[in-house]
Structure 1
Amino acid sequence: MGTRHDAALELVLSLHRLLRSLRRAGPTGGLQPTQLILLSQLTEAGPSRVGVLADRVPCSQPTATAAVAELEGAGLVCREPDPTDGRATRVAITDKGTDALLGVAHGEAEALLQRLGSLGTPEAEHVLAAAPLLRRLADTSAHPDRA
């Protein structure tokens, strides 16, 4: 393993650790991690069938079905007819679901800002400046054909 590989591994481990700790520090609104990921996927990709959501999370289809049922019961998602197949339905995020997801994200952002306060200003600015690059990397891996 070379230095570049070691640095990439350290970054991945650090990002996982940071995200876990931010999730614990921020308000979840009573939402489970799988539910948050489903809401996020619906925000990014738009209305989707449960099977597609299960593939994206990733989780089993029964797990996605149960999570969608709970989200639907809370008014955070709704089902709509699939325009390409009249026998199927898609799941769509509601305004209430968008608000819930944004509330969680804002809480995690506040927790991050508090932690950035423990760094010097130049270091904190470097971390924040990495956001567009990390987003590009995330988009590239989500859509390898667009790389």
Structure 2
Amino acid sequence: MAQETLQLLVAMHRIVRHLRRSRTTTALHPTQFLALMLVADEQPIRIGEIAARVPCSQPTATTTVAGLEDAGLVRREPDPVDGRATAVVLTEAGAETVEASGRQAAEELGKLLRRLDDADSELVLRAGVVLARIADDL
């Protein structure tokens, strides 16, 4: 099993690197991209939660959000649960970037999946559901 898990890890890294290189809709750093996608899914979200879920350090999350804020993709506002804290939400430009990036990444991954026969393509897509559950539990 160790060899198969290593093979899976290497394959996932290679695919993600390929998708990052093919992404032309944004010039975001990978951590910014992950944080932006997380904000889109979980908003409003505190920076500490972004750090825990990306995962990265709290200072890195703060710097990442500041860069996204400078780019006009997110904004900070009072946390609806605790007004003393701040939460991060998408701006309209952020929502457009998420939509465009998601569409482009799906198209690029779709091209890779079309290289497979139907059974293998379906297997990979089903595995994606399971991998998402693992990622959600991190």
Question: TM > 0.5 between the two?
Answer: yes
In the alignment, what sits opposite 1:138?
135
Residues 1:128 and 1:57: Cα distance change in structure 2 (over 3 Å) = closer
- Tell me the TM-score normalised to structure 1 length: 0.78
Separation (CA, whole Å) in 2 of partners of 1:84 and 1:114: 43
Which of 42, 54, 57 aligns to 2:39? It is 42
Deviation at 1:81, TM superposition (A): 0.6
Q: Structure 2: any 5+ residue segments left out of the alignment?
A: none
Deviation string, structure 1 residues 7-29 (Cα, Å, up to 9, x no partner):
12221221122111111112241
Q: Which runs of 4+ in 1 moved over 6 A?
A: none
Equivalenced residue count is: 138
Which of 29, 32, 35 aligns to 1:32? It is 29
In the alignment, what sits opposite 2:56?
59
Deviation at 1:117, TM superposition (A): 2.9
Which of the pair has more CA radius of gyration?
Answer: 1
Separation (CA, whole Å) in 1 of partners of 2:4 and 2:49: 33
Separation (CA, whole Å) in 2 of partners of 1:107 and 1:115: 13
In the alignment, what sits opposite 1:14?
11
In the alignment, what sits opposite 2:81?
84
CA RMSD of aligned residues (A): 2.1
Separation (CA, whole Å) in 2 of partners of 1:115 and 1:53: 30
Deviation at 1:36, TM superposition (A): 0.8
> Percent of aligned positions with the same letter in both sequences?
45
In the alignment, what sits opposite 2:114?
117
Deviation string, structure 1 residues 34-69 (Cα, Å, up to 9, x no partner):
111111221232222223222322223332222212
Deviation at 1:100, TM superposition (A): 0.6
Separation (CA, whole Å) in 2 of partners of 1:136 and 1:29: 27
Deviation string, structure 1 residues 75-125 (Cα, Å, up to 9, x no partner):
211111123333221111223212212211221221122222333343333
- Tell me the TM-score normalised to structure 2 length: 0.82
Are 2:100 and 1:100 aligned? no
